[in-house]
Structure 1
Amino acid sequence: MGRPTFRRRVGGAITALVTPFRDDAFDGVDMMAHIEWQLLSGIDGLLVCSLTGEGPTLAEAERVRAIEICVELSEHKVPVIVATGTNDTKTTLEQTIRAQRLGADAAFVTVPYYSKPTQKGIIHHFEQLAAKTELPIIIHDQPSRTAVDLAPTTVARLAEIRGIIGIADDGCDISRIDLWRHFLPEGFGLFTSNDANALGFAAAGGHGCFSSAANIVPRLFRSMQHAAACGNISAARSIDERLQPLFNALARENEPATIKHALSLARDIEAEVRLPLVGVGTETAAAIQAAITPFQLDGTGRFASRHAYRRGL
């Protein structure tokens, strides 16, 4: 049997959405405005409830509402991918099935964290998910957070499982693409979740990036990805050079906090994060302000108002 097919292809520039909070409550109004702006900016897909979206801190009702908003506003024009991975197979399966019922197009599932499973345990984990849900699965390999990396033989085995359609790598070693490509089936997606190496990954044959920075510069990030995909590496490199200072500033501290701080300056979205995360320090705040200044679109020191985008301007 071949790979599962679904309505919308995953690829290009996919925004790993932040989850807006106000007074520690989920802010659906700001989330709707932010998603509308992302879609009007031409982004290729939406990832919701990921680490950038502070998914582990969300109550179940908040997760459901965030997914519902994404599915409703996307209007089936771009894929909605839901981060459902935990360190527990049963909970991951429950969240994946719920995402499927809510209309998601794919699940974004991290290699189980904290418990440090063996390679055999990782394989069994994903076998169980694929066997008990119809939602296509993209594996997220992020050893810096999980303390477990996927061995090449494990990647090869996982790629054979019907229902697993791709892998997103969080590392900086682009040579892994060439290593994996030899044993991956045709049509298997290769993605990065590292903004800083997004261009190199695309130039090496990657299919897209799950980007945190695209929250701030969706149109420009998409342009870079599409230029690289079309073979216009010169144009893509020019955009990447403009974006690298922003990537560097956002990487100074924890990304949900830095992304939200940038959005508070540029898009009137609250910078609030949930503990154990805290707001950025003074030096990081200054670095972010300097990094977003070249991308300001009006004379007020901000991007165009989120309210203007809600009117379709």
Structure 2
Amino acid sequence: MASNNSSPNNPVSDSLKESLKAGLCGSIVAIVTPMQPSNQGSMPSIDLARLKQLCQWHLAEGTNGIVVMGTTGESASVSEVDYLKAIEVVVKTVAKRVPVIAGTGAISTTKTMDLTTKAAALGADAALVVTPYYCKPSQEGLYLHFKAVADNSSVPLILYNVPGRTACDLLPTTVARLAEYENIVAIKEATGDVSRVKELIEVCKTPIQLLSGDDATAREFIQAGGHGVISVTANVAPALMSQMCQLALDGQQKQAAIVDQKLSDLHRDLFLEANPIPVKWALAAMGKVEDAIMMPLTSLNKEFQPAVLKALEKANVKTQ
């Protein structure tokens, strides 16, 4: 039965919503956007061929879903033309084998609605909508923002809370209000505070999928009742991340901890500089992408490179 908080303009079908929720678990990669180095100081261009190859690799390695054009994908830095091209390539390459989630959050509500509409038209299965950054809205402002996006979206929404980047915190009580909307199906909770899982479970009368946005605490997050992680580490160690998440979901916590220990240095050292600087450099060291990133971000500082290489080695990830 539909709730009173359905989205009348573009309602999401019950079958689509339930199918997506069932797929939002395990290791979901926040995929990088490969780029080609620029000439004479110009901005790099997106390497769509490499992006396609990365998607195929993730499918082969057991990744459970792909977020394209999230923070790790440099969505805030690329042109809208490249943003849409990247979503299109990922959607076509994945071909419904796992959920494809497009990052559509922006600083304004109207821009967020526009990007969500365009991502849906390209075939994205869902939209990952970050809290509006920089402007620091109130809890009521956040509620009205997500409500407006939900009311105008033809695909399900995943809330994204990352106070360390946005300067605002989507509190569990506000999430509980938003969870009543039929096409708000999940939250990416990136505070790193595992106690949020219990609080969200307790306050959300309408259950939603709970996804960690913090690799270092993802295993504990799942153990506390979460369903998976939207992961940076999965970019370089997709099979191990998928294995760790599945073990945790299956209640095999000792085995999950053993796998997670292999990944622990990556969880830490892929954030020695701002994401996605270290993970793009790591993928370049693996031969998966070129060492290119959109300004104002720059390539990984040489002083941090040995630590990242050592972390890759600990996880048995081969480099060139």
TM-score (norm 1): 0.92
The answer to whether the Cα contact below 8 Å between 1:18 and 1:53 also exists between their aligned partners in 2 is: yes
Q: Which residue in 2 is equivalent to 1:183?
A: 203
The answer to whether the Cα contact below 8 Å between 1:257 and 1:271 also exists between their aligned partners in 2 is: no
Say if 2:168 is the partner of 1:124. Answer: no
Letter in 1 for 2:128: F
C-alpha deviation, 1:187, in angstroms: 4.2
The answer to whether the Cα contact below 8 Å between 1:136 and 1:165 also exists between their aligned partners in 2 is: yes
SS at structure 1 position matched to 2:165: helix
Letter in 2 for 1:84: T
1:147-158 matched pairs, under 5 angstroms: 147-158=167-178
| Structure 1 stretches lacking a partner, 5+ long | 303-313
Q: Which residue, out of 291, 296, 305, partners 2:311?
A: 291
Q: Which residue in 2 is equivalent to 1:281?
A: 301
Q: Which residue, out of 1, 10, 16, partners 2:24?
A: 10
Cα distance in structure 1, aligned partners of 2:46 and 2:131: 27
Q: Which residue in 2 is equivalent to 1:113?
A: 133
Q: Which residue, out of 263, 269, 274, partners 1:254?
A: 274
Cα distance in structure 1, aligned partners of 2:190 and 2:276: 16
Cα distance in structure 2, aligned partners of 1:96 and 1:148: 21
The answer to whether the Cα contact below 8 Å between 1:190 and 1:208 also exists between their aligned partners in 2 is: yes
Q: Which residue in 2 is equivalent to 1:168?
A: 188
SS at structure 2 position matched to 1:40: helix
Q: Which residue in 2 is equivalent to 1:86?
A: 106
Cα distance in structure 1, aligned partners of 2:281 and 2:213: 20
The answer to whether the Cα contact below 8 Å between 1:111 and 1:140 also exists between their aligned partners in 2 is: yes
Letter in 1 for 2:31: L
Say if 2:234 is the partner of 1:234. Answer: no
Say if 2:72 is the partner of 1:58. Answer: no
Once the two structures are superposed, what CA deviation does each residue of 1:163-193 show, in whole Å capped at 9, x if it has no partner?
1111111112101111111121454111111
Cα distance in structure 1, aligned partners of 2:15 and 2:184: 11
C-alpha deviation, 1:267, in angstroms: 2.7
Once the two structures are superposed, what CA deviation does each residue of 1:58-97 show, in whole Å capped at 9, x if it has no partner?
2122111111111111121100000000110000000001
* Cα pair distance change 1:48/1:276, threshold 3 Å: same
Cα distance in structure 1, aligned partners of 2:281 and 2:233: 12
Once the two structures are superposed, what CA deviation does each residue of 1:192-231 show, in whole Å capped at 9, x if it has no partner?
1111001010111101100011010000000000000001
| Structure 2 stretches lacking a partner, 5+ long | 7-13, 39-43
SS at structure 2 position matched to 1:33: helix
Cα distance in structure 2, aligned partners of 1:64 and 1:170: 25
TM-score (norm 2): 0.90
Cα distance in structure 2, aligned partners of 1:264 and 1:97: 33
Identity of matched residues, %: 34
Q: Which residue in 2 is equivalent to 1:309?
A: none
Structure 1 stretch displaced more, 219-228 or 27-36: 27-36
Letter in 2 for 1:100: A
Q: Which residue in 1 is equivalent to 2:10?
A: none
Letter in 2 for 1:18: V
C-alpha deviation, 1:29, in angstroms: 0.9
Cα distance in structure 2, aligned partners of 1:100 and 1:136: 10
C-alpha deviation, 1:12, in angstroms: 0.9
SS at structure 1 position matched to 2:304: helix
SS at structure 2 position matched to 1:255: coil
SS at structure 2 position matched to 1:18: coil
Q: Which residue in 1 is equivalent to 2:228?
A: 208
Say if 2:50 is the partner of 1:36. Answer: no
Once the two structures are superposed, what CA deviation does each residue of 1:259-311 show, in whole Å capped at 9, x if it has no partner?
0110011134112111111111112111111111234466xx44xxxxxxxxx
Q: Which residue, out of 153, 156, 164, partners 1:136?
A: 156
Say if 2:278 is the partner of 1:264. Answer: no
RMSD after superposition: 1.4
Cα distance in structure 2, aligned partners of 1:142 and 1:18: 18
Q: Which residue in 1 is equivalent to 2:35?
A: 21
The answer to whether the Cα contact below 8 Å between 1:28 and 1:66 also exists between their aligned partners in 2 is: yes
Say if 2:87 is the partner of 1:71. Answer: no
